[in-house]
Amino acid sequence: MRNLTTAAAAAALLSMPALAQEHAPPAEVLAVHDYVAAVSADRIGRDIQTLVDFGTRHTLSETESDSRGIGAARRWIHDEFERISAECGGCLEVMYVSDTISGERRIPEPAEVVSVIAIQRGTLDPDRFVMMSGDIDSRVSDPLDGTSDSPGANDNASGMAGVIEAARVLSQHEFAGSIIYAGLSGEEQGLFGGRIVAAHALEQGWRIKGVLNNDMISNIAGINGVIDNTTARVFSEGTRYVETEEEARQRRFTGGEVDSPSRNLARFVDRTADQYIPNLDVMMVYRLDRFGRGGHHRPFNEAGMPGVRIMETNEHYDRQHQDLRTEDGRVYGDTMDGVDAGHAAKLTALNVAVMAQMAGAPPFPANVEIEGAVQPSTTLSWDMAEGEAAENLAGYRVHWRLTDQPQWQWSRFVGRTDTYTLENVVIDNYYFGVSAVATDGSETPVVFPGPAGSFGE
C-alpha cells in the first residue's frame, strides 16, 4: 500500500480550495454590496410602525375599515407595492391571491384569506422564481380574538416590512430570473395563506427555486437574557419522502439521506451572510421549524418547493401571541418596544443578497447524476442549459465536502460542459453537487445528484 507523506498530504489539501478560482468568472461582489447598502433601517422601522397602527391584523378582524384591521393592512401593502412599481416604470405585477376558508379550528366560519403578491419578472427566464415572504396577520392570546389590539410588531410586521424594503431595493435593477415579494395572510390560523399561494404557484406553472420565509426578524433581546444583534437562525428540513427504490438508492449514496434542496438553500444563505453581511453569523438549524411551531415556508416545502425560515436567534415569548397587559410588573405584548429596526435591516439585506444572486443566476443544473463506485475518481454529469434562458451561463462548478461537514468545502469551476471527473477524489468519502454560474458571477445553490437533490422542475 502506498503511503502519502505528511508534506504531500498537506500539499494536496492546500491545493483543493485554490481550485475554486480556476477559470471562474469574476463575481459581481460590488453590485451585491451596493444592494445590501441600499437597505434602510429607517424605512423598515416606519413600515413596522404603519402596520402596528392598524390596531389588529388578525385574519378574522375588520375588512371594511380604512384604518383598522386586516383589510386595511393588506390594501396598504398592495398600494405600497404599486408605488414601488411606479418608481421602476411598472416593473412589478401586483395582485391579490385568495380563497375562502371555513370549518377549521381557528377559522370556524367562512373567511376570505387574502395574500398580496408582487412579481418582478426576469429578463431571460421569467417563469423561474425566488420568493421572499413575510406575514400580514397578527394575534393575541386567544387565536380566535379578532377584535382586541394586536400590534404584531415583531411577529410579523418586521418580516412584512422587510419584504417591502427588499422590493424597493431590488426593483431598481434587472435580473435574469424573477422575484416574488409576498405578504401572506392566515399564518397564525394555520398557514392558510402559504397553502393558497403555493397551490396558485403550481397552477400557474411557476418554477419556485427557493422560498425565504421571514418570520420575526427584529428582536435582539431573548427571554433567556441574551442580547445579540449579530446572529440569525435559518431553519431547513431534510428529505421529505422517498417515492421509488431508485430514489431511495440515490438518497443513500449522494447525501440525500441527511440533506435536501432546502438544506442546500440554507447553505447558500449561510455563505451569502459570510460574504456580504457585516457582523452577521448564520446558525443553520437542521429542523423544519421550532418544536411544536410552524411557519409559512412549510406549505411550500409540502408542495415540493425548497424553502427556509429566516429569523432572530433569541426569541422573547412574552412578546409573542400575548394580550397587551402587565402582570406582577412583567410586561406582555408584541409592541414597538421590542423592535430593533437595525437588526431587521440586517436580515432584510441578507434576503436581498440571496435573491439578487439566485435571480441573477442561469438555469439550475438539471438531471445531475454521479458515478464512481469502486473507482479512484468521481464523475458528475448534468444537462447543460440551452436557449434564451441560458444566455448568461458562464459554466458550472462542481462541489464536494466531507460527509460530516455542514458547509461545502471545495469546488472547481469546470466551464460550459455537461460532465466532469474529479481525479483521485473517491466517491465514498464525500458528498457532491453542482451549481450553475452566470457570466457576472451570480450562482445557484448547489444541486445534489438524483431526484432527492433536485430543486424541482
Q: In what order do the strands lie in the sheet with 419-422?
A: 366-371, 378-383, 419-422
How many whole angstroms separate alpha carbon 110 and alpha carbon 103?
7
Residue 1 in any domain: the answer is no
Do 82 and 175 sit in the same domain of this protein?
Answer: yes
Say which amino acid occupies 386.
E
Domain boundary among 344, 360, 376: 360
- E strand residue ranges, 215-288: 231-235, 281-285
Q: Which pLDDT score is estimated for 242?
A: 53
Do 207 and 233 sit in the same domain of this protein?
Answer: yes
pLDDT mean over 96-120 = 97
Q: Which pLDDT score is estimated for 176?
A: 98
Say which amino acid occupies 81.
F
Residue 300 in any domain: the answer is yes
Say which amino acid occupies 258.
V
pLDDT mean over 36-54 = 98
Do 46 and 194 sit in the same domain of this protein?
Answer: yes
**Number of independent structural domains in the chain:** 2
Residue 406 in any domain: the answer is yes
Q: Which pLDDT score is estimated for 1?
A: 38
The residue count of the chain comes to 457
pLDDT in tens, 239-264: 765 556 666 655 555 555 568 999 99
Measured from the Cβ of residue 306, the count of other Cβ atoms closer than 10 Å reads 26
pLDDT mean over 130-137 = 98
Q: Cβ(365)–Cβ(430) under 8 Å? A: no
**Between the CA of residue 287 and those of 91, 177, 240, 266, 332, what are the distances in Å?**
36, 28, 12, 11, 28
Q: Cβ(355)–Cβ(425) under 8 Å? A: no
pLDDT in tens, 267-305: 999 999 999 999 999 999 999 999 989 999 999 999 999
How many whole angstroms separate alpha carbon 310 and alpha carbon 261?
16
How many whole angstroms separate alpha carbon 293 and alpha carbon 334?
18
Q: Cβ(131)–Cβ(209) under 8 Å? A: no
Band (pLDDT 50/70/90 cuts) for residue 4 is very low
pLDDT in tens, 213-235: 999 999 999 999 999 999 999 99
Residue 315 in any domain: the answer is yes
Q: Tell me which residue range forms the domain holding 265.
A: 29-360
What's the CATH number where 103 sits? 3.40.630.10
pLDDT in tens, 384-431: 999 999 999 999 999 999 999 999 999 999 999 999 999 999 999 999
Q: Which pLDDT score is estimated for 239?
A: 75
Q: Cβ(42)–Cβ(23) under 8 Å? A: no
Q: Which pLDDT score is estimated for 249?
A: 56
Do 10 and 77 sit in the same domain of this protein?
Answer: no
According to DSSP, the β-strands at 231-235 and 281-285 are parallel
Q: Which pLDDT score is estimated for 454?
A: 73
Do 404 and 275 sit in the same domain of this protein?
Answer: no
**Residues with Cβ within 8 Å of residue 386, at least 6 apart in sequence:** none
Do 449 and 340 sit in the same domain of this protein?
Answer: no
pLDDT in tens, 167-201: 999 999 999 999 999 999 999 999 999 999 999 99
pTM above 0.85, yes or no: yes
Q: Please work out, in degrees rounded to the nearest 5, the angle formed at the alpha carbon of residue 345 by the alpha carbons of 192 and 122.
A: 65
Do 85 and 198 sit in the same domain of this protein?
Answer: yes
pLDDT in tens, 308-319: 999 999 999 999
Question: How far is C-alpha 315 from the chain's CA centre?
Answer: 20
Do 426 and 292 sit in the same domain of this protein?
Answer: no
Q: Cβ(434)–Cβ(398) under 8 Å? A: yes
Do 120 and 145 sit in the same domain of this protein?
Answer: yes
Do 207 and 116 sit in the same domain of this protein?
Answer: yes
Task: Please name which of 284, 280, 276, 283 lies closest in space to residue 353, comparing C-alpha atoms.
Answer: 276
> Quick check: bond before 156 cis, omega within 30?
yes
Residue with cell 504531500: 8
What's the CATH number where 375 sits? 2.60.40.10
pLDDT mean over 107-134 = 98
Do 159 and 228 sit in the same domain of this protein?
Answer: yes
Q: Cβ(380)–Cβ(449) under 8 Å? A: yes
Domain boundary among 360, 387, 412: 360
Domain boundary among 360, 385, 407: 360
For the cut 70, the answer to whether the pLDDT of residue 436 exceeds it is: yes
pLDDT mean over 371-377 = 96
Q: Cβ(236)–Cβ(284) under 8 Å? A: yes
Query: Which residues sit opposite 431 in a β-bridge?
Result: 401
Q: Cβ(378)–Cβ(370) under 8 Å? A: yes
Residue 18 in any domain: the answer is yes
pLDDT in tens, 57-79: 999 999 999 999 999 999 999 99
